[in-house]
Amino acid sequence: MKEYDVVVVGSGSAMNVVEALIQENSKVKVAVIDKDEPGGICLTRGCIPSKILLYPAEVLRTVERASEFGISVDVRRVDFKAVMARMRRLIDADIDAIRRGLTRSENIDYYHAPAEFISPYTMKVDEKTIKGKMFLLGAGSRAVIPPIEGLDSAGYITSDNVVWLTERPESLAVVGAGYIAAEYGHFFASMGTKVTIIGRNPQFIADEEPEVSALAMRELGKRIRILTNHEVKKVRRKGGGTGKVLTARDRASGKTVEVQASEVLVAAGRGPTTDILHPEKAGIKTDEHGWFVVNDYLETSQPNVWALGDATGRQLFKHKANYDSQVVYLNAVRKRKVKADYHAVPRAIFTDPEIAAVGLREAEAVKKLGAGNVMVGFYRYEDTAKGEAMNVHDYFVKIIADKETSAILGAHVVGPHASVLIQEIVMAMYTHTRSASSIFEAMHIHPALSEVVERAAGSMVPLEHYHHMLKEYGLEAS
Ligand SMILES: Cc1cc2nc3c(=O)[nH]c(=O)nc-3n(C[C@H](O)[C@H](O)[C@H](O)COP(=O)(O)OP(=O)(O)OC[C@H]3O[C@@H](n4cnc5c(N)ncnc54)[C@H](O)[C@@H]3O)c2cc1C
């Protein structure tokens, strides 16, 4: 039986800890196990391939708006094969480089196979039994497949295999209306596919503010059919062909609708991978869903077994997984006592319009402090010189703050470069006071989009006033 100083499950963010360990201790022996291609989900089938695909969609959307600025352009052809091939070329080069690093390292034994615990500190992988003094569980998450009648036999794709498509589907039905649906829906619609998104929740991209969701649905809805509050009940093949017919039930009226599509993309949320890992055999606790239970230091119920990233079920983002890897490194390797702090985990949806958020939503802030103690800073892109130059309408920055201390509790941005604009607010949330004053007291470049953030931070109003403003601008969610 082989014994290791450290056993790592998942070659995503957990690898940050391994790299630091090897730098410090040239004798350390590490087992790195991943059942899939090395590099983790972000690289192999998550953030990076999807964003490589979304950039050409962004270019196309910009070109399509050229006539608004007096420029006449004809888009003659979109070469879907070339768009996909470029993504594969970039991703495969990175995967190959990581694989080479893993196989050549003298410190690492790389197992390309599923691993499962058989007893505490002991795993079975690739027909071998291995032991470890320390375990780093960065086992990620996986697509949840809802139990829909006929789905398996009709066939479907998920975000895992969409990255292998070479032919553009004529039409696509997306089951789910969260961020993956919004991103891939936008991508395929830009490529020329007829897209229908079918979401169970009454709100499109349900994790976002209602007014952000309503605006995104209005804009995206110009190019994509979006059904909310509809549950897909059945999928069947159309005639003998490859087309599919989905039957969805309106959860309010009970009426059913049929959606025809040449392909079905299931994007109905993410779940844990612990059913493969069997942590219960190693005395490692999971919650009722199967996510690892960790303490503030990211240690599981078994000493020296640490979990990080998606596997803990909290905020499933790559930057959060990377942050976790730093916390685990400090606590597991450096023997420090550093608590994971998630008060300002940002997120972005790279759809059109782009959306970004950090911290609390308005309803959460009201629940925490009471409506009278919450202030909102709001500013529209079009009310700045740059927004006017870009001819954008209705997009905005919303900052939620504590009335008494001015501390920022959360922020929401919808419009071009939202994922960049939010960062200034995240930085303010990492200052000692978390106050919005650090934003509006600082000089901002004129005329740049950052002025939208500056002015939102400098124009805090009570909630009632904010909702009045939203109504006046026609931006209130119905
Ligand atoms: C379509 C899509 C788009 C995304 N876009 C973004 C984005 O734009 N920005 C962002 O921040 N996040 C995004 N994410 C989320 C991001 O990919 C994850 O948060 C991130 O990959 C989590 O990293 P991790 O280190 O926790 O685990 P991962 O990198 O997910 O690695 C886990 C690895 O462990 C392997 N594994 C699991 N169990 C076992 C086992 N028993 N034996 C062997 N191997 C096992 C898995 O196969 C996987 O390769 C996206 C995700 C998806 C699906």
pLDDT tens string 17-65 = 999 999 999 999 999 999 999 999 999 999 999 999 999 999 999 999 9
Nearest CA to ligand 1 atom 13: 47
The CA-to-CA distance between both ends of the chain, in Å, stands at 63
CA–centroid distance, 208 to ligand 1, in Å, is: 22
CATH number for region 353-473:
3.30.390.30
Per-residue tokens: 427: 């930085």
CA–centroid distance, 11 to ligand 1, in Å, is: 9
Strand, coil or helix: what is 358?
strand
d(CA 129, CA 35): 16
Beta bridge partners of 257: 248
Amino acid, single-letter form, for residue 300: T
Pocket test for ligand 1, best of 8, 32, 37, 47 (most atoms within 8 A of CB): 47
Amino acid, single-letter form, for residue 180: I
Q: Where in the chain is the domain with CATH 3.30.390.30?
A: 353-473
- Where do the DSSP E strands lie in 145-221? 171-175, 194-198
CB of 15 shorter than 6 A to ligand 1: no
Biggest CA-to-CA distance, the chain: 71
- Where do the DSSP E strands lie in 360-478? 374-380, 396-402, 408-414, 460-462
Count of CB atoms within 10 A of residue 447's CB? 13
| Virtual torsion, Cα 134, 11, 341, 117, nearest 10 deg | -40
CA–centroid distance, 288 to ligand 1, in Å, is: 21
Pocket test for ligand 1, best of 128, 305, 318, 329 (most atoms within 8 A of CB): 318
d(CA 461, CA 456): 10
Q: Where in the chain is the domain with CATH 3.50.50.60?
A: 2-142+271-333, 151-268
Nearest CA to ligand 1 atom 52: 46
- CATH fold for the domain made of 151-268: FAD/NAD(P)-binding domain (3.50.50)
CB of 313 shorter than 6 A to ligand 1: no
pLDDT at residue 239, rounded to an integer: 80
CB of 277 shorter than 6 A to ligand 1: yes
Cβ neighbours for 186, distance < 8 A, ≥ 6 positions apart:
54, 57, 220, 223, 224, 351, 352
DSSP state for residue 103 in the 8-state scheme: H
CATH label, 2-142+271-333, candidates 3.30.70.2190, 3.50.50.60, 1.20.1740.10, 3.40.50.1970: 3.50.50.60
pTM: 0.97
Per-residue tokens: 182: 């919004």
Nearest CA to ligand 1 atom 27: 140
In terms of Cβ atoms closer than 10 Å to its own Cβ (0-12, 13-18, 19+), residue 70 is: exposed
d(CA 193, CA 238): 18
pLDDT at residue 242, rounded to an integer: 78
Pocket test for ligand 1, best of 13, 41, 306, 320 (most atoms within 8 A of CB): 41
CB 232 within 8 A of CB 246: yes
CB of 272 shorter than 6 A to ligand 1: no
Nearest CA to ligand 1 atom 26: 309
DSSP codes joined into one string, 34-82: -SSSTTHHHHHHSHHHHHHHHHHHHHHHHHHTGGGGT---------HHH
| Residue ranges in the chain whose pLDDT is less than 50 | none
CB of 159 shorter than 6 A to ligand 1: yes
CB of 266 shorter than 6 A to ligand 1: no
List pLDDT tens digits, range 60-97.
Answer: 999 999 999 999 999 999 999 999 999 999 999 999 99
